[in-house]
Structure 1
Amino acid sequence: MEREKKDLSFILILLSTLIGTAVLFQWAIVTGLYAPLRNPAMWERLMEKDTLFRFLYVILIGGLAFLFPVGKVKDENKKWVYTSMTLVSASILVIGFSRLSAWYNLFVFPTVFVAYTLLVIKTLPYFIRRHAQSDDSIFGLSREESAFYFRFETASGPLVIHKPQQNVYIDGGPGSGKSESWIKGIIYQCAERNYAGFVYDWEGDPTKDKSPILSRIAYGSIEYFRAKGVETPRFAYINFVDMSRTVRVNVLSPQYMSKGNESLFIRNFIMTLMKNLEASWKEKTDFWANNAINYVYSIAYKCFKERELGICTLPH
């Protein structure tokens, strides 16, 4: 739908530009500002259909304005004033040039041409309810609180993210306060509501005592609510620097696989693993790449089929 709207907008902009240019050429010829020396027959046909071109311009500008969002009007009292002026200017524009007054053609007509274009922009907001949203409308759009949600208090009222599983995008430069304003609050609420989560902090350094790592926020929040008797997630620390101080996770454990979809789970896992080991395979997998992935997948699936032997682990 968005693609179709963009294509329609492009077509209307192109047509409006071409028709508007034709009307301006007509005006220049009528006022004597331009005298065509080549293809006189073409210019004569253009002048014969001058009313049609002006009518098409009036329609196209109005249609083009409907495709773009407009600001919400604040003064409804001017609605019919602008509407009347728009209709009058459209009528004068369609009627066109005067055979009695050269001054009218030279000054009044181009003024009406520009005025109509601007008046359409001013008049349409009174009739279009599809307004561009202000910044204030972002807050409080939804008060829905599902089984999985986040809630933030703002100066304009509560902001409820009622479906964070559909992803949350936070944009800001270094030091702009992304972690302080949003990330820490999300981690805190995960501990408060017993949500599972994985904190991956690229900048935090667990080997330094005063490093501002987000995992400390997670651990502190879990301990805080656990002391209050609230059911909280189990904290597990994965340390890639010191392997003696890390929790080990068997990513091929059957407990993480959906029943009936074990083969698909293992294939997706192996494909992700192999493509991360060989970055070029993310762009393209050739015959040798597919063979390597299938070979490792076959071994992993055999380990799963013989899991009662205790070999369904990544090291095996």
Structure 2
Amino acid sequence: MNQNRNAVFLLITLAALLVGSEYYFLLHIAPRDVAWYTRLLTLFMKGGWLFRLLFALMVPMLSAVPDETKAYREVRHQKRPALWMQLVAVAGYLLGTGLLAMAHRFPYQFTYIVPVGGGVSLLFGVAVGYWLLRPAPKSPMSEDRKPGVAKKGFQLQLASGAWVKVPNPFRGIFIAGGPGSGKSDSWAKPLIRQALAQNYCGILYDVKFPELTEYAYHYRQLNPDATTRFCILNFKDMDRTHRLNPIAPANIPSITYAEEYAIALIRNLQTETIERPDFWSRSSVALITGVIWYLRKHHEEQCTIPHVVTLITKTPYDKLINMIGNDPECLSYVMSIVTAISNKSGDQLSGVIGTLQVAMAKLATPEVFWVMSATDEGFSMDLNNPNQPIFLCLGGDREIIESLRPLLGLYSTVATKRMNRAGKHHSVLLLDEAPTIYIPNFEQIPATGRSSQIATVFMCQDLSQVRKYYGDKETQMILGTLS
């Protein structure tokens, strides 16, 4: 409760005490020929109606005064009820107010009129104040923007009062700051507020889930007219996650898409292969590509990550190769493995397959299988579809980020592939601690995504963190495209 509401509450309490004192004095104090009794009787006879009217008029103010706290700003936006309910509330409030104000004109019914009028005015007065007089919550934009900002642009106010303007966020935003420097509070949260207020869709990568996700959810509720759907994917809290299959057939129009998704999995599983791909990584990518494309062509309902993981970790490699080798396209990708089998290079091949099985076994958890196997949640990875835009929060966990990296990297890769197309809804790709996941060919997103209205926000601790996961060459290209 803020200071304004405290003041109103105090005034209502004083008015209620005056009304109660009048009621008790007139009904329960016997007449006396003393000065104090005469003064009080004169006061209540002349001003009693005013005290009762003042009490009734103050009741709506108690529920009409908004809080100035963060808790109030983040409450769910309550729509007004039906018109007939509003009219009933107004009529009831006016009736109660009238009874209180006119009670002294009916001395024989005064005993009943005052409590009835007080109760009716209190009940309906609260409804009138909340439904009709309470101002709508301030737009999230009003806290950190000034008039005249460019459409779909961002503005952030510094502590000094100066403004940082980002009139064209589709050119890309790069934010670097050490641990504890306040990147989330100073940059991520204002950008989230303004993006949601402007009906952006897209991705929020929340490495500290659920901090930014909860923040985004509350501010999404303050914009009930937004057309974007709010969705959450995480592998930590099964009560607060949707389910979505990232490699659904609609996301794999050709085998090259399957290859890029396989690259995202392998390079997030083994980050050292980002800069130094070797025979193991190339063979692993080829095998995963073949498995994904085989399921995509011949078993669409089973084209999910759980099925891919199960086939690779629990099927003997010779049977697996024979199965996917029956498809000419898949065979071309796994030909190097077929050749190794033909040449009886069993030891080397066993080492490659064994290492891949160990790596993929990290993904064989009940949470992963449950979240990534769904195909009927009513939304897809086409996040910036103008007909059904989606704001998707990807929840990470620093304690197990090594295990979650390939999953979050895969979701991000699939989403950006589908987002980076012309004629889509304006979207944002906000990555907190971005280097903790690897997205293949990430530098192409801000370079080509500006024409697709994708606002890329890349946040990190420092450049050394980016180089650690992306390498020197890709880091320079990323910095060059985030202008």
TM-score by length of 1: 0.45
Please state which structure has a larger fraction of its residues in strand: 2
TM-score by length of 2: 0.31
